[in-house]
Each structure stands twice: as C-alpha cells, then as structure tokens.
Amino acid sequence: MEENKKKGNKKFKIFIIIFIIAILFFSQKENQEKLIEILNSLKINQKTLKLIESFPVEEDVKDLDLHDKSIMKWRDNKLSFLELDGTLSWEKEFNLEEPYIFFGEKYIYGIDKSSGDIYFLDKKGETINRVQLKTQIFNIKESHSNLISHIRNLNMESINILDKDGNLIGNNLVKDKNILTYSTNKDGSKYVLSLLNLKEGALKSQIEIFDINGEKLASIDLEKEIVINSEFTDNEEVIILTDKGLYYIKDNKILWKKQFDLIKDIYLDKDKIYVLYSNYLESIYFNGRTKSKMSFSEEYKKILSSDKHIFLYGDKYIVGIQDEKEILKYESDEKILGLYGAKSNLMIWNPNKVNIFSITNKK
C-alpha cells in the first residue's frame, strides 16, 4: 500500500515537471508558432487540378487575366470579356495610338502611352474616369489604391501618383538618374523611389522615401546593387529586393538584410516575405527570422498568390504550397506563358490554348 502511494507520488511529480517544462517551452513566441504550424499541417489536404474548361486562343494575344467567373483578354486593340468556356460576353475596341492595357485590382486601365491618356474601366467595361497626363508614359503600376505612372524624357524621369479617383496627389522629377522601382504606402501618404546612379563612376542604387508632398524622409545608398522591387508593408516598413539580396527598412534605417543567389521573384504577405531564388523558396518573418526554406528539383520562375495558396511556376511545372507544405504538383504538356488564380480556380495560358482548372482535394 505504502509502495503504491510512493509510485503515485513519483508519477505526479514527473507530470508536474513535464507540465512546467511545457509551459516554459510554449511561453516563447517562436515555439508557439511552431506548434501552430504543426497543428495546421495536420489539417492540410493534398490537392489536385481538375480540368473544367479548355478553349483555343490566338497566338497574338497580348495579355490575359482571370477575374472571378470571367476571363479578360487583350488582343488587337480590343478588350474582350469571356465566359470560363471561352464564349464572348462583351468586347470593347480602343482607338489609341500606342495602346496598353493594365489589369488592376479594382480597375482595368486602358492607356495611350503616346499621349498619356488613362481610362479607368470597371469590370463591366464601363469607363469610370479619364485622366490626361499630356506626356508619354513609359510604364505604369498600381500600388495599393494608387496608380503610379513612370515618365521618361531625354535627361530626366518622373513619376505621377494618382489616387483611386484619378486625382494627381504627388509627383517627383529626377535628373541624371534612372528610376528603377516605385510604390506607395497603404493610405497614399508616403512613397518610395529607387534610383540608379551611374554618374559617380560606379554603379549605385539609391533608396529614397518621401511624404506625398515631396519632402524627403530618408535616403539610403546600396553600392554595386540594382533594385528590382520595393514595397511598403502594412506597418509602414519598406521591403527592398535587389539583384543580390533583401533589405528591411524600418524608421528610415536598414534593420536587417539577407543575401541570395539567382533571385527570381518576391511576394509580400501580411506577416512574412516569400523569396524565390535559385531552386529555393524561403519565407521570412518581418523580424528577419527564416520561417521555412523549401528546395525543388524543377525550375520555377514566378510566384502567384491565390486565395490561401502560394503557387510557383516555370516553363513546364507548377507547384502549390500552403503553410509551407507542398500540396500540389502539375506538369504542363506545353510551355506555360502565364498562370492566374481566382478563388478556387487556376487558369493556365499555353501558346495556343487556355485551360481552366478547379483546385480540389486529392482522393
């Protein structure tokens, strides 16, 4: 009886010790995140692609996009909306000298690059607004709810920042340097410019942060590197991707940096950064700590975010990732020209056809 009591006390003490160790272990945020990842991974199902529609497309199509239950096609100065089976829903022709179409989150932008005219179209093809910049447009980018036009002249370049209604809210004129990248923060009160400076006898990129009125808030030089992407996080930090590495700027200073080889693409999530380089995809928290690093035997070039999935694709292969776990793999019988996602569907653009797939659980 006494011996059984001693055994019971010993087991209870062991349980208390394990319980205390567990509390100490999971009191650390890093360990909590690992536990959440493990629990989430148990819920993840393997996925497969089920073909639901397939139809031919012309070889001279300039661009495609997938939006909910319709497909947008740009060809021969015509913007066409198609049903998922390829049948024409409506079509709009543009009489522009140098036409260009940009598919944004809210609007479709019909642009005459030669005159600087920008038409804001809704997803029904109706013209909501027209802006006349009266100058040639080199490039255009949608950043949060803002539209940024990039202008190039003989010895100077500039950007014009428009709000969601097409009103000019900011601009910046640059002399003797090339503008590489640009973006605004979420509310449009700041913007970041990256410039290429070749005038001092050596290659140098300059990162400059401004408020929307043009007051310079920060200037950071990166020697012998070329900036290929710049974005604001929701918390006002700036992510800079160069041909050699990743930089995280907070309070107008470089908080941390990481070097990579053969960088191909980047995607900024709510709380982490995905970097595709060489044969790896690395996800990094905003504090600079690597969350995961995945390696692949196939060649991937681009990142697509759709719903709760991340997709990587190259010329032949597609891989689907959820919570840093590989859940889907697909090999195309033709070269992949583009990959597009909307809700639970994926659209693959091949040279002469479009295939629409639904993403379903693998049995």
Read off the pLDDT of residues 193-209 as tens digits, 9 standing for 90 and up: 999 998 777 899 999 99
Confidence of residue 28 (pLDDT cuts 50, 70, 90): low
Give the closest residue to 111 by CA, choosing from 120, 99, 121. Answer: 99
Residue 14 near residue 297, CB atoms below 8 Å: no
High-pLDDT (> 90) share of the chain, % = 71
Average pLDDT, the chain: 89
pLDDT for residue 212:
96
pLDDT for residue 124:
81
Give the closest residue to 137 by CA, choosing from 98, 169, 167. Answer: 98
Residue 131 near residue 142, CB atoms below 8 Å: no
* 319 vs 198: CA distance, rounded Å: 39
Most confident of 18-32, 43-57, 161-175: 161-175
Residue 31: strand, helix, or coil: helix
Give 332: exposed, middle or buried? Use CB within 10 Å, 0-12, 13-18, 19+.
Answer: middle
CA distances to 75, 292, 357 from 301, rounded to whole Å, are 25, 19, 21
End-to-end CA distance of the chain: 55
* 96 vs 112: CA distance, rounded Å: 6
pLDDT for residue 198:
85
pLDDT for residue 344:
86
- The alpha-carbon radius of gyration of the chain (Å, integer) is 25
pTM to 2 decimal places: 0.84
Q: What are phi and psi of 234, to 5 degrees?
A: -65, -20
CATH superfamily, with its number, for domain 138-295: YVTN repeat-like/Quinoprotein amine dehydrogenase (2.130.10.10)
pLDDT for residue 9:
61
